[in-house]
Amino acid sequence: MAGPKDVSAREAEVLAALAGDRSNAQIARRLHISIRTVESHISSLLRKYGVADRHELAALADVAESQPPGFSTPAGPGTTFVGREQDRAELTRALGSNRLVSLLGPGGVGKTRLALRVAADVADNYPYGGAVVDLVPVRPGFVVAAVAEALQATEQPPHSLADAVLERLKRGRTLLVLDNCEHLLDDVAGLVARILTEATETAVVVTSRERLGVAGERPVQLGPLTLGTEAEQLFRDRAALVAPELADDSELAQKVCAELDGVPLAIELAAARAGSLGPDGLLAALDDRLRLLSGGRGPNERHNSLAQVIGWSYDLLGDDERRLFRRLGVFVGGFDLAAVAGVTPGSTRSELSDLLGRLTDKSLLHRSQHAGISRWRMLETVRVFALEELKDEYDEVAALHVAWADQLATKLEQQLEAGEDWQQEFDLLAPDLRVASGAVRPLARKLAHLTFARRRFLEAREHYLVAAAHAADAAERYDDLRDAADAAMVVADGGHAYQLMMRSAADGTPDAAGYAVTILNRYEMTRPAELPDDRGASLLPGESGGSGDSVLVRVARAWVDRFGVASAEAAVAAARRANQPLDLMSALDAYGTAVAAAGRLRDADASAKERLKLAADLPAHDPRAAAEIVDAFHVASTTAIAVGDIVEALRLAQLISDPVHGHPYITAPRKVRAYALAGRFEDAVQAADVMWSGWRAAGCPPRVWMASAAAAAALAHGLLGSGQEGVWQARALEIARVTDATDDGGLAAPAAFVEARLAVHRHDTNPTALSELSDVAGVVERACAAFPEPWWIPYAHAAGAELAVVSEYPDAAQYLERAVSENAWAEAVLRRAQGRLTGDRDTLLEAAGKFHQIGARFEERCTLSLAR
């Protein structure tokens, strides 16, 4: 990673150790130095790198570890860069003083090559690297996906792909080159405007035939090569590849370049013919073609059309060469020999290989290697000409292109299902799959599936919607909209998923209505106060529990009857009989929710564990399965905490076993809760910082379920003695969007638990502390209250009962009796409180053993100290 030259070796070690937002104490232990020394080095690094805080330093360290500097670029043409010294200097100067530079000019003038050259020239000025993104094969709506792929930025739900791109670009000085933008001006302009506003150290170079029209844009106009020097040099350089004796023929170079007005692509096409035609033949053929196409107009006007020169080169091809050249125009991206065979039936592979070689020799194709396989591509200007020449053949060739794409997608799906490598080939050929799938439902579904498996969830949703637009009937449309809805669910967009299912329900599809109602209730896409009075029951068909109900509708009824154990059991039984694993997982979730509300937390945990086992056999590349896998993983973590299985909660917190690998601030709450209860307070504090900063950076979206993790962070800070517990208690309220913890059902119990546990801790570290607490009775009563959500009730009631004991309540024993629950942590706390009440050392040792068994090391140490 590039950086200041005066960074010492020790400072470099501290910077590297900051990766992942490690705390000062963790860095000190890692490097065997004092915390004060770490603080001194961090202060120095902040000054030397000119960044605002330690999180920016940590981002620098993350990039150094995971994303080395350099540009991700498409394969170039493989020939030398000639001339353009003044243009290189002008573009470099423009980029030095402007964050958006548009390199403008007609097709064939060399915009791409100049942009690539200058990007390489200035690469050292951009320590965070960047990418050159070829937008030729990109359709409207997929610009962000193309940029993300080039930057290796992936969706991190619930953030959008655009957010992931911006997060990557925000890390520091980055250069992004967007090549061939003229057909995507609106999409590119929207993305670039966000980049300029949010990623303030990223520079953008655009190549296009038109300006973007974005504020701050600095246009640089690129014209033909200068005659007399650069143009002739280019011709001699390229002609020497096919006829070395022409390398010094200045007269020929001068005449040809004058005829072609110095247009680089035209010069390269002419030079490729120099060997076969010879100097005289080249000039004569070129002059005849231009005269014919210009209609005898003046010498300057007749040379202005690059299409004339491409047409001249095309006319010189043999019939078999012209036929192949025309057909290759259907490929928007690169193509290999197998792809070419798909659009040229009746030709052998050896014949096609020979023809491809000939077209390459004539500079109409460019060849590259990928994984040992030859691939070719056309420049966009040449490809447009080839398409125009297809004329009456277009429908036939387009159909062959679709058939090839469908066969390819089928093969890739088979490789995916078999666990074989498929991603690299898919990435290379995805542009053509996207184009071919636009009006064909089966191919659109295959592309959607492959895209989803590639973890491009939002793009997959769009492909499923394309398929739905071409569905033959309501059943097909349901399948497409259901998959699109689950792709939306995976990125936490429950609102869109609900709307898609309501669209399908409008067709009269019962399962669509059932799934819509399930989404409405199960994922609480709206706050409970905003739910319909009947929780969507009126959307469901027939009578409740009718024999004609599908399994999915039965599951939906269980979710409507949110805390009804009987209806949930009936849904589970129906799903088991039908042997439908996905519906069974949803039914088990409804059952777990219902039994937890009844205080049967261990039954809820057993249900969650069964869901995890079912998830292990599901294909994570299928949207319906992925949505269930993600939910199963999160619920299992919740129920492990609910029953006090801290060992399991830690295991789940440290694993990334769901197919989405969500955004760090979404996965961090699991870590905060588990680490805090396990006594790993520094780890809990670190995870809480990731959660908080990520949530704030995302615009503070509604994530009420995260509030309990903020409360757990307050517990960690309080037991660590950092003095920050009040800050995190306030943050918990902010996340829950309330002013009092009792106003939110999900925060009330964890907040009361933390308050009571910290009161007990203050007593244990300073026996006079409780006398200074004015409202001990209030803390006890808040902790022992009835709570609407079951998961944290055992913690609150047990902590309140223990506080009643240490406060010497006369009826403390009754609090202990009322706090009994199905939670191993609470059982250990109550046993410790019993030991405190009776002064029985053996009881305290028994409690310490229970804490040891569940992995609560801090509580174990506290209990052992009481037994001394």
Does residue 670 form part of some domain? no
Beta strands in 16-149 (DSSP E): 71-72, 100-104, 130-134
Find out whether the peptide bond into 158 is cis, omega within 30 degrees of 0.
Answer: yes
The CATH number assigned to the domain holding 185 equals 3.40.50.300
Q: Which of 689, 753, 681 is nearest to 717 (CA)?
A: 681
Beta strands in 265-411 (DSSP E): 366-370, 373-377
Does residue 35 form part of some domain? yes
d(CA 712, CA 697): 21
Q: Give the pLDDT of residue 17.
A: 73
Q: Exposed (0-12), middle (13-18) or buried (19+): which is 740, by Cβ within 10 Å? A: exposed
Q: Give the pLDDT of residue 757.
A: 96
The CATH number assigned to the domain holding 61 equals 1.10.10.10
d(CA 454, CA 413): 12
Q: Give the pLDDT of residue 289.
A: 57
Q: Can you give the pTM of this predicted structure? A: 0.75
Does residue 702 form part of some domain? no
Pairwise pLDDT comparison (84 vs 97), residue with the higher score: 97
In our burial notation (b when 16+ CB lie closer than 10 A, e otherwise), range 153-181 reads bbbbbbbbbbbbbbbbbbbbbbbbbbbbb
Tokens of 814: 């009754």
Of 406, 439, 472, which residue constitutes the final position of a domain? Answer: 439
Residue 410 and residue 326 share a domain: yes
Give the residue-averaged pLDDT of 591-612: 94
Which domain covers residue 433, as residue numbers? 319-439
Residue 862 and residue 747 share a domain: yes
Does residue 432 form part of some domain? yes
In the block, residue with structure tokens 């890692």? 30
pLDDT in tens, 573-587: 999 999 999 999 999
Q: Which of 93, 107, 275, 82 is nearest to 179 (CA)?
A: 107
Q: Give the pLDDT of residue 52.
A: 61
3-state secondary structure 55-87: HHHHHHHHHHHHCCCCEECCCCCCCCCCCCHHH
Q: Could you tell me which residues come within 8 angstroms of residue 509 by beta carbon, excluding any fewer than 6 positions away?
A: 474, 475, 477, 478
Question: 675 pLDDT band (50/70/90 cuts)?
Answer: very high
Does residue 672 form part of some domain? no
Residue 763 and residue 783 share a domain: yes
Does residue 444 form part of some domain? no
Residue 273 and residue 410 share a domain: no
In the block, residue with structure tokens 């001194």? 40
Residue 93 and residue 151 share a domain: yes
Residue 124 and residue 89 share a domain: yes
Which residue type sits at 236? R
In degrees, to the nearest 5, what angle opens at C-alpha 211 toward C-alphas 208 and 215?
Answer: 135
Q: Give the pLDDT of residue 849.
A: 96
pLDDT in tens, 339-378: 999 999 989 999 999 999 989 888 788 888 887 888 998 8
pLDDT in tens, 17-28: 776 556 777 777
d(CA 594, CA 586): 13
d(CA 100, CA 88): 16
Is residue 714 within 8 A of residue 754, CB to CB? The reply is yes
Number of separate domains in the chain: 6
Residue 435 and residue 341 share a domain: yes
Residue 270 and residue 197 share a domain: no
In the block, residue with structure tokens 């299985």? 645
Residue 860 and residue 746 share a domain: yes
pLDDT in tens, 491-507: 778 888 999 999 999 99
Is residue 251 within 8 A of residue 239, CB to CB? The reply is no
Residue 174 and residue 123 share a domain: yes
Residue 150 and residue 47 share a domain: no
Residue 773 and residue 859 share a domain: yes
Does residue 583 form part of some domain? yes
In our burial notation (b when 16+ CB lie closer than 10 A, e otherwise), range 115-143 reads bbbbbeebeeebbbbbbbbbbbbbbeebb
Of 642, 667, 698, which residue constitutes the final position of a domain? Answer: 642
Does residue 363 form part of some domain? yes
Of 263, 291, 315, which residue constitutes the final position of a domain? Answer: 315
Give just the sign of the alpha carbon dihedral 538, 544, 547, 550. Answer: positive
Could you tell me whether strands 373-377 and 366-370 are parallel, antiparallel, or unpaired per DSSP bridges? antiparallel
Going edge to edge, which strands form the sheet with 202-208? 71-72, 130-134, 174-179, 202-208, 100-104, 217-221
